[in-house]
Structure 1
Amino acid sequence: MIRSMVLLMLAGIPFYIQAQYKKLIWADEFEYSGLPDSAKWSYDTGNHGWGNNELQYYTAKRKENALVSNGILSIKAIKEDYKEAKFTSARLVSKNKGDWKYGRIEVKAKMPQGRGLWPAIWMLPTDWEYGDWPKSGEIDIMEHVGYLPDSVFGTVHTAAYNHMTGTQKTKSVFRKNLASAFHVYAMEWDEDRIRIFIDKEQYFEFANEKQSSREWPFNKRFHLLLNIAVGGNWGGKMGVDEFVFPQTMEVDYVRVYQ
């Protein structure tokens, strides 16, 4: 056993990942062409600001905004007039097609770039059993805002800890090549804690205080979301550079282990 642990560490593979999260239970490798697999993904649609004063219209089943080709899912934000909005994009959701309580979620992705863009890889509760946001929780595996081109953020929101009251639990990490190289954005979640990683580096941890759902609503099913927002309270804090469009978030794979 000790020899196996040493060999794994020498190989650069964190042992606890191998030990705890061996079983692949859900994945999209994007080894097909066309629209995202409808057995795994649905769409959130519309242009009502999404609670953040965002500017985009999220479309459904529109290849201009979400397309799989050459093994890559491309989510594209476009500057165009569309149903009273000035921008379009896509927000893919796995709700009722991929819903999990605990596990390791991995997404290998490359970021768009430009002021005003706000891509995210994140999770929301499927059943909202503790009430509306933020009571039932939110897990942000990766958020990136274009005016901070070298930073990504991992965050959790709950009734006790959320950005509306300035109490959210968050941390950032820096990389110079977010828009030019793929990175693996991952989250490990069990009954005691949530850990967030970029590649093999853990940079955020949130522990279960074992008090109430106000602090820890993360004992229910959650699903995954992939999207690019335009503008918004955070993404548009420094304005939107309309000359950078179109911009694409590329996703190589999504894998879920338990």
Structure 2
Amino acid sequence: MRPYFRSRRIQKGTVDRPELRTKDPRWIWMNIVPIVGILLGFGIIGTLSYLGYKSVVNHTYCLVFTDDFSSGINPAIWQYEIQTGGYDNGEFEITTSDVENVFIRDGQLVIRPTLQTEEYLQSTTTVNLTSAGTCTSNVPGDCILQVNNTAEDIVMPVKSGRLMTKNTAVIRYGRVEIEAKLAAGQWLLSQMIMMPAENYYGSWPASGEINIGIARGNNATYNGGNGNQRVQSNLYWGPDTTQEPWQYTSGTRDALHSEYHEKFHTFGLEWTEDYIFVWIDYRLAQVFYTKFRPGGFFALGNFPASYSNGSLIENPWTGPGTGPATPFDRPFYLALGVGVGGTSGWFDDGVQGKPWSDKSTAPRLDFWKARDQWAPTWNETGAGEMIVRKVTMWQQCDDGATDLSAFTKRGKKK
């Protein structure tokens, strides 16, 4: 009987293969050389990785505080920042200690802006926080606001909240982590920032500002994707407000297929005498990284020699004890708040129906008149407030100090 299947493969030994009888002398090199190269490459990579790891300075950090708000707003950590000056942004809110603006809900900190009443705005021409004894600034313009209603001007049309650690927790180099949901809603501005504990090198921005994270509340369609799915972090620095090149030390990071009000994120800062960087959720997801370089920030700014009036632009960051990190070599405190509107450029004129112009003679009134457009967006589910679940601050304790008492003399420690 014929078999059902017969292999048609060439049978072993039926074909002559002379190449197997005589070895090619090049064979050993064609195999060994690549193997040696691969092993050598792995060795070089391992050596460089080890040297890089060894070159990183592992600082020691000491806990300054950690707060999960389970015990309310702890006065040993937080103070209310109460001002009516717009925080150098021309913002439209007065910050208060009212429980409608700053409160604890379900064991979490909530900062929520609310509207003034029409009656209050029509009848109030002066807000004097100094005479009330509540102002937390020593700048008169931050504490006293006078308006002329007949000239179509009004006082701040919105109340909001801002907490700070200025009197209780400051660091000079260290780390900060903030677990928060940011505020959604038109023209809201969630703010997680660090400010200098004293204007050691001069008024803003000469003494610096560290923005851990700022996000607009407008939705993701705002201005080509600059809404609530994007966080911006940066350093502010410069001899004065006319020379302030923050763009050199800035970055943004978008949430993944979401917006920052939809779930909690961790916003982190790491700051040493050599560098500073901000990250979101994990340290490799950096928003920006700045290494402090020789020549310092005055060299980085590449400022012109003089102002338009001919006067010289002077370097505010010179003198004994200053260095590449100056002005970010002094103690800073943490502030958390929700701003509203403003005339500093955070919201571009003419974009998404912005109801005021930065150069308007009455921007607060223009904003207030459009409240039927923007106020409903604050009341949507999950909108209108910043929620903070936990805040932790560490001081780099192998160098630096945790309070101002170690810096009583310019550039020198006690």
TM-score, normalising length: structure 1: 0.84
* CA deviation profile, 1:74-109 (whole Å, cap 9, x unmatched): 011112336632211011110020111111100000
- The structure-2 alpha-carbon separation of the partners of 1:164 and 1:182, relative to structure 1 and needing over 3 Å to count, comes to farther
- 1:177: which partner in 2? 259
State the shift of 1:21 in Å.
5.7
SS at match of 1:244: helix
- The structure-2 alpha-carbon separation of the partners of 1:219 and 1:72, relative to structure 1 and needing over 3 Å to count, comes to same
Greater share of strand: 1
Larger Rg: 2
Equivalent position to 2:376, from 226, 230, 243? 243
Counterparts of 2:84 and 2:198, CA distance in 1:
23
- The structure-2 alpha-carbon separation of the partners of 1:135 and 1:20, relative to structure 1 and needing over 3 Å to count, comes to same
* Aligned: 1:23 with 2:62: yes
Counterparts of 2:80 and 2:271, CA distance in 1:
25
State the shift of 1:155 in Å.
0.3
Structure 2 alignment gaps of length 5 or more: 1-57, 125-154, 219-226, 297-316, 319-323, 356-373, 397-414
Whichever residue aligns with residue 30 of structure 1, its letter is F
Counterparts of 2:168 and 2:115, CA distance in 1:
30
State the shift of 1:50 in Å.
2.2
Counterparts of 1:164 and 1:250, CA distance in 2:
34
Equivalent position to 1:76, from 112, 132, 137? 112
* CA deviation profile, 1:210-237 (whole Å, cap 9, x unmatched): 3343873111100000000000134443
Greater share of helix: 2
- 2:336: which partner in 1? 226
Matches within 5 A, 1:142-161: 142-147=213-218, 148-159=227-238
- 1:6: which partner in 2? none
State the shift of 1:27 in Å.
1.7
Counterparts of 2:211 and 2:180, CA distance in 1:
15
Counterparts of 2:375 and 2:60, CA distance in 1:
42
* Aligned: 1:203 with 2:287: yes
Counterparts of 2:375 and 2:389, CA distance in 1:
27
Whichever residue aligns with residue 27 of structure 1, its letter is T
- 1:48: which partner in 2? 85
* Aligned: 1:104 with 2:175: yes
State the shift of 1:30 in Å.
0.5
- Paired residue total: 238
Counterparts of 1:227 and 1:105, CA distance in 2:
16
Equivalent position to 1:128, from 199, 215, 223? 199
C-alpha contact (below 8 Å) 1:67/1:75 kept by paired residues: yes
Whichever residue aligns with residue 64 of structure 2, its letter is I
C-alpha contact (below 8 Å) 1:156/1:162 kept by paired residues: no
Counterparts of 2:62 and 2:86, CA distance in 1:
38
Counterparts of 1:173 and 1:167, CA distance in 2:
17
State the shift of 1:146 in Å.
2.1
SS at match of 1:196: strand
* Aligned: 1:252 with 2:389: yes
Counterparts of 2:180 and 2:156, CA distance in 1:
27
User: How big is the alpha-carbon RMSD for the aligned residues of Structure 1 and Structure 2?
Assistant: 2.3
Whichever residue aligns with residue 279 of structure 2, its letter is F
- The structure-2 alpha-carbon separation of the partners of 1:27 and 1:66, relative to structure 1 and needing over 3 Å to count, comes to same
Identity among equivalent positions (%) equals 28
SS at match of 2:69: coil
Q: Which structure is richer in relative contact order (CA contacts within 8 A, separation 6 or more)? A: 1
Structure 1 alignment gaps of length 5 or more: 1-18
Whichever residue aligns with residue 339 of structure 2, its letter is A
Counterparts of 2:387 and 2:242, CA distance in 1:
28
- 1:64: which partner in 2? 100
TM-score, normalising length: structure 2: 0.54
Counterparts of 2:270 and 2:239, CA distance in 1:
21
C-alpha contact (below 8 Å) 2:230/2:259 kept by paired residues: no
- The structure-2 alpha-carbon separation of the partners of 1:191 and 1:165, relative to structure 1 and needing over 3 Å to count, comes to closer
